[in-house]
Structure 1
Amino acid sequence: MTITPLNGGDAVITIHNIRLPIVEYRGHRVVTFAIIDQVHERPEGTAKRNFSDNRDRFRSGEDYFLIPKSEADGFRTFGIEVPNRGLTVLTEQGYLMVVKSLTDDLAWTVQRQLVNSYFRPQPFTVPQTRAEAMRLAADLEEQNEVLLLENKQQADTIASLESLFMTGETPTQFCKRLNGVNCSQVNSSLMRLGWIYNAATDENSKPRYRVASRVRDRFLTERPRKISAEGVESFIKYDLILLLDGACRLHQLYMKGDLTMKSKWDGRHTLAKYDGGDAQ
């Protein structure tokens, strides 16, 4: 088996708040299409489609590998299943080719993190002199202080959201409390982020939103209810229910300007307490 779990198989790395296993195959660190969609917050199947659309440009053994079912056990230790038809994994070069069309701010941030931290981990250089050791200690202390500050700010934000978050509210209801958000566009934003999809088969009917598998029970969950009306065949409607981690992520997107805002927004980022109103 040529899959190499680093540090006894327990090595993970955090990219954009998502913990990923570190997997090597034939001397290359590799990622799956699902991992790319997850860290880039793209709809499921985006990376695979980009690969398929440009398949003739990718070189086997250089840009990607096709893992046979016979090697499934090695990947299963990382929580990665290999289907009967095999699993395509991408090297750094293949990954960069697949995400070439992703040019938003998040894409640039994730690409930099994956390349610098995952595909090209920096080797640790042992200081050779006392001066080098002191400089290294000072650098590490400065980095630690920055991380502590960032962690404190993140913890304060989460604590604030925990005190204001109401269990059972919908994404629209939560966003109604974010000053300036265009609440009529919340579901469109969630579609763009790949959090939900429209399960309606008739393009002329009202949307029937469902939670995408990659965020289900992490950012969102669903609550089914039966809809019945005279002269109309009854059906099951799934209400979108926001979870605390999803609220934290929506608040991050709000602060970064990634949600659709009202044209007359005053520019202030504030979060109001729950007022008991119903979400539409």
Structure 2
Amino acid sequence: MKTELAPVAARDLQIIEYRGQRVVTTEQMAAGYGATEKMISNNFSRNQTRFVEGKHYFDVEGEELLTLKNSPSFRGAVDKRTPRLRLWTERGAANHAKMLETDQAWGYHEDLVDFYFTQRDAINAPAAQIPISRKELALMVIEAEERAEAAAIENKTLSVTVENLEKHFTKGMTLPAFCKALNGVNTSKITWWAFLRGWLYNEQPDPEKEPRWRVKSYARDKYLTEQDIQIKDVGKEPFTKKKVVLLLKGTHRLYQLYLKGELPMKATWNGEYSHDKAIYTPEVK
């Protein structure tokens, strides 16, 4: 089932800002994620504990909604008959992408982050601004400072890690080889995980035979690529085998998913997220 609204590229979305941050409507998000508004609403209802108003979404109604409907920035984005409007923040949109867990939802969410949420230019529409009390403004400033401080620490840690990963990344590295350096990851299941996530497909569906993994279009030249390997067995005709290898951006995405706890982990994992640089060190020739 698809929503009636045609999806709009994230970079072309009508810019909507509410209380100093960019937001999307349920209609916009559903269309981009390849879902329906009903699916979004049902996921919200079933997982309300994962959503916090003011952090993941805003509910607007009454006089405030009337003011928004009449503002230039909201014109055409909201049905005039809507009695209540729910606006989703970047974090709220991320929750829904995770719950839908489809290639389209993840892909569109990445585009939203890259081309919509991260471009926080102010909208030139003074009439659309909703009056905020001094107390609300002070709280917003404090929250913004706390978020900025936490983000700075997180980014500093992540940048050091990514730098290490890039320094020791070797061309032709496979998924299991990379994940050996990530503490606790079950490398025997990582290929199957990539298959379930839609990064790979099995070219050899016969369950009696070894799988022949290939890269799906969603991940091809984005996270993974393929290399031709010439196989020469004695007494047999030489043949070419496809080897799935990681791209540098793929290592970044894997590490991001690792920190989110979304990779398959060993039963003996000690609960610590860390990486071993020594495993990446190229062999001395």
CA distance in 1 between counterparts of 2:206 and 2:166 reads: 39
2:154 maps to 1:159: no
The residue that corresponds to 1:93 in the other structure is 38
Extract unaligned runs of 5+ from structure 2: 17-22, 51-91, 101-108, 118-127
Residue 236 to residue 202, structure 1, CA distance change in 2 (3 Å): farther
Q: Which letter maps to 2:95?
A: V
1:161 to partner: Cα distance: 1.9
1:261 to partner: Cα distance: 3.4
Q: Deviations over 1:198-228 (max 9, x none)?
A: 1114332211001121111111111122435
CA contact under 8 A between 1:169 and 1:241: conserved in structure 2?
Answer: yes
CA distance in 2 between counterparts of 1:253 and 1:134 reads: 34
CA contact under 8 A between 1:29 and 1:91: conserved in structure 2?
Answer: no
1:172 to partner: Cα distance: 1.3
2:213 maps to 1:209: yes
Q: Deviations over 1:87-138 (max 9, x none)?
A: xx54422445589999xx9x996228899x98xx9xx853455454444433
Residue 217 to residue 125, structure 1, CA distance change in 2 (3 Å): same
Q: Which letter maps to 2:27?
A: H
- Identical-residue share of aligned pairs (%): 32
The residue that corresponds to 1:244 in the other structure is 248
2:206 maps to 1:221: no
CA contact under 8 A between 2:168 and 2:281: conserved in structure 1?
Answer: no
Extract unaligned runs of 5+ from structure 1: 14-21, 37-88
CA contact under 8 A between 1:23 and 1:31: conserved in structure 2?
Answer: no
TM-score (norm 2): 0.54
1:237 to partner: Cα distance: 1.6
Residue 242 to residue 126, structure 1, CA distance change in 2 (3 Å): same
Partner residue of 1:138 out of 128, 142, 147: 142
RMSD: 4.7
2:25 maps to 1:29: no
CA contact under 8 A between 2:204 and 2:212: conserved in structure 1?
Answer: yes
Q: Deviations over 1:164-204 (max 9, x none)?
A: 32232111111222233332222122122221111114332
Residue 100 to residue 235, structure 1, CA distance change in 2 (3 Å): farther
SS in 1 for 2:220: coil
CA contact under 8 A between 1:255 and 1:269: conserved in structure 2?
Answer: yes
CA distance in 2 between counterparts of 1:223 and 1:189 reads: 21
CA contact under 8 A between 2:43 and 2:96: conserved in structure 1?
Answer: no
Partner residue of 2:12 out of 9, 12, 22: 9
SS in 2 for 1:224: strand
Structure with greater proportional strand content: 1
TM-score (norm 1): 0.55
Q: Which letter maps to 1:153?
A: T
Q: Which letter maps to 2:28?
A: R
